[in-house]
Structures are given as C-alpha cells and as structure tokens.
Amino acid sequence: MLRILSGIKPSGTLHIGNYLGMIRPMVESQERGLLFCFIANLHSLTTLFDGPRMAQNTLNALIDMMALGIDPQRSVFWLQSDVPEVAELTWYLGNVTPVGLLERCHAYKDAQAKGVPANHGLFSYPVLMAADILLYQSNIVPVGRDQKQHVEVTRDIAVKFNSAYGEVFTLPEPEIAESVAVIPGVDGQKMSKSYGNTVEIFGEEKAVRKRIMSIVTDPTPVEAPKDPDKSVIYSIYKLFVDESRAQAMAERFRAGGYGYGEAKKELFEAVWGYFEPFRRRRSELADNLDYVNEVRKTGADKAREVASATLKRVREAVGVICS
Ligand code: ADP
Ligand code: TRP
C-alpha cells in the first residue's frame, strides 16, 4: 500500500495557507494510501527556545490536526519526539550527508543571508527531516512548494546511504498540489506566519473578519470590471467554495459594479462557514484531553513498530550490531 507521509511544525497558530497547501491535501490522501502524519516538535526546537510555549503549541497542534480531519483509526498519527528511533537514524544519515548539501538548504542560507547566527540544529534540520521520511519507507510526501528542496535532499541522502550499504531505503517523491502551492496572504505575498499576513484557521470571529477585510486591493473603482484572477480575494475564495459559487464571484468581478469590500465579506462568510464543523470538533477535543492523549500514545506505538523495523535493518547495514 502507498505510504504517504507528512509532518507539521507546532511553531505557531495554523493559517489557511497551511491548510490549503498542506493539511487538506494530506487529509484527502487518507483515501488513497496509508497516511503517516506527525507533529514535528523536534524541528520546532531549532527556532523556539521556550519550553512552556513549546509544550502548549504541541498540544494545540495535536488537537488542531485531529479536528481538521486526521483520522487516527485509518492513519498513523503521532508526536515526533515520542519515537526516539528518529534521532538515532538522524545520526546514521548525517554520516552520509555532505556538508555542501546542507549549506545549500534554504533555512540555513536565509539565516546566513540575514546574518543570524545559525545553530547546528538548524543546519542539520534537513537530515532530521530525511530521517522522518526514510524511517517510514514513505513513497509520497505532500508538502507546500517551500519544502520541495528538503524532500529532494532526502532523496540524495537515501541514494548515498543505499549506495554505501545496499538498498535499505525507499526513495520518496515530493507531491505539490500546484493549484495551492503558494497561497497569498492579506498583503499579497506568500501567506506565512513570519510575514504577519495570515488568516488563522481557528481565530476568533472578529479577528478573522478583520484580517480578511484588511486584504490589500488595488484602487480600481467599484463600477469598473475587474480581473478575478488578479485578486487575492478570489484566489482564496475559489478554494473554499464549489465550482458554481466560484464562477458566480468571477462573473461579478468581470461585470463591474462589484466592490472589493463586498467580495471580502463574501470571502469571510465562506471561510468562516467552511471551518464551522472543524471548530466544533476542535472544542470537543479540547474538552477531552484524555482522548487526545490516548490517540497520541496509540499513534506512537504504531509508528514505533514501523520505525524499529527500519532501524533494525539500518543498524545491521552500518554494522553497529556485532554478535
Ligand atoms: P509558515 O510559512 O507560516 O511558517 P510553515 O513553514 O510552518 O508555515 O509551513 C507548514 C506547511 O504549510 C508546509 O508544508 C508548507 O509548505 C505549507 N505552507 C505554508 N505556507 C503556505 C502557503 N502560503 N501556501 C501553501 N502552502 C503553505
Ligand atoms: N519541515 C517541514 C515544515 O517546515 C515539517 C516537516 C518535518 C516535514 N519533517 C517532515 C514535512 C517530514 C514533511 C515530511 O513544514
């Protein structure tokens, strides 16, 4: 069965760019293979140095992903640090990873460019990510475009390992849904928590409305016809509604006499309505942390079963088992 794997860092509140670019494709992938989905808390440690906040974000991320449709009955869902095998594999992989490969990776390069002192964790971030992917012999990794490089690095590392020690690892493929590869934020740039231009998935109604109403638009007057494909409003709206509602907005844009303010109100209604069942589910889960913790534990057990089988082969291959 096809193995699909993806992880998400618990480093802040989730936004609709995360949802459309990565979470929704991942949830949908539960229909076509065995999904491995985890909260990448070890990755967040490269940039977040606040224990209590880290713990709180992690719990929130577990709840968020369950609320958004990860089904622990059908999928393997766990917290990265609950599977210590990943740290051991990171070490083995690190020894077949050329430094030059990591120097070219974007998180480290960005830190260098900004003159921010990088730590070793940030530098070796892609090796930990390779361990995440290879430990579960994943075939497909659904991610947003910004993570493609990391999946390619994973392939390079797997090829190096396999050529040194024999065919131990499956080579994964990144899978990027092109229509949602880069969701724009309220200022038109890529939506990202680092740019402060996000629309949160589980924000308060007033705040979400305010955010959507603040989408930057051009000064075209209300009466003038507008090109829907040039508008952030339409490009997000069409991803939350069915074809006929999307068409209807596109026609109103083209016809003229339709202002951006009105379009933003419609976008807010669509987004708010879309997440309504997820909000309800989220609040049920938040009131039932025993269940959340039980899911976390069962998920870790399932993940460890697969992880330890791979690690056994790796240990034999590299020769740390001598009996
Ligand atoms: P952020 O840029 O807000 O820090 P992350 O880097 O934590 O978001 O991304 C988590 C996941 O969501 C990744 O798979 C990433 O590719 C995806 N993602 C983030 N922002 C967007 C976006 N604007 N459009 C599409 N996918 C996105
Ligand atoms: N690096 C990913 C991000 O920033 C998160 C992540 C960690 C991940 N390990 C992974 C994604 C393995 C896919 C597969 O979004």
Is there a contact between 177 and 22 (Cβ–Cβ < 8 Å)?
no
- Number of Cβ within 10 Å of residue 223's Cβ equals 9
Task: Write the DSSP assignment of 104-146 as a string of letters.
Answer: TSHHHHHHHHHTPPPPHHHHTHHHHHHHHHHHTT-SEEE--GG
- Number of Cβ within 10 Å of residue 225's Cβ equals 12
DSSP letter assigned to residue 301? H
Number of compact structural domains in the chain:
2
Q: Which amino acid is at 163?
A: S
What is the reported pLDDT for 81?
Answer: 98
pLDDT digits (tens, 9 = 90+) for 247-269: 999 999 999 999 999 999 999 99
* One domain for residues 21 and 78: yes
CA atoms within 13 A on the CB side of 123: 12
* One domain for residues 125 and 30: yes
pTM, to two decimals: 0.94
Q: Of ligand 2's atoms, which has the minimum distance to the CA of residue 9?
A: 5
Q: Which residue has the higher pLDDT, 56 or 107?
A: 56
Distance 199 CA to ligand 1 centre (A): 12
pLDDT digits (tens, 9 = 90+) for 165-214: 999 999 999 998 888 878 999 999 999 998 999 999 999 999 999 999 99
Domain membership of residue 13 as a residue range? 3-182+279-318
Average pLDDT of every residue of the chain: 95
Around ligand 2, the residues with Cβ closer than 6 Å are 5-9, 40, 43, 129, 132-133, 141, 143, 147, 150
Q: How confident is the model at residue 245 (pLDDT cuts 50, 70, 90)?
A: very high
* One domain for residues 25 and 158: yes
CATH of the domain at 229: 1.10.240.10
With respect to residue 115, please indicate whether it lies within any of the assigned structural domains. Answer: yes
Residues 264-278, mean pLDDT to the nearest whole number: 98
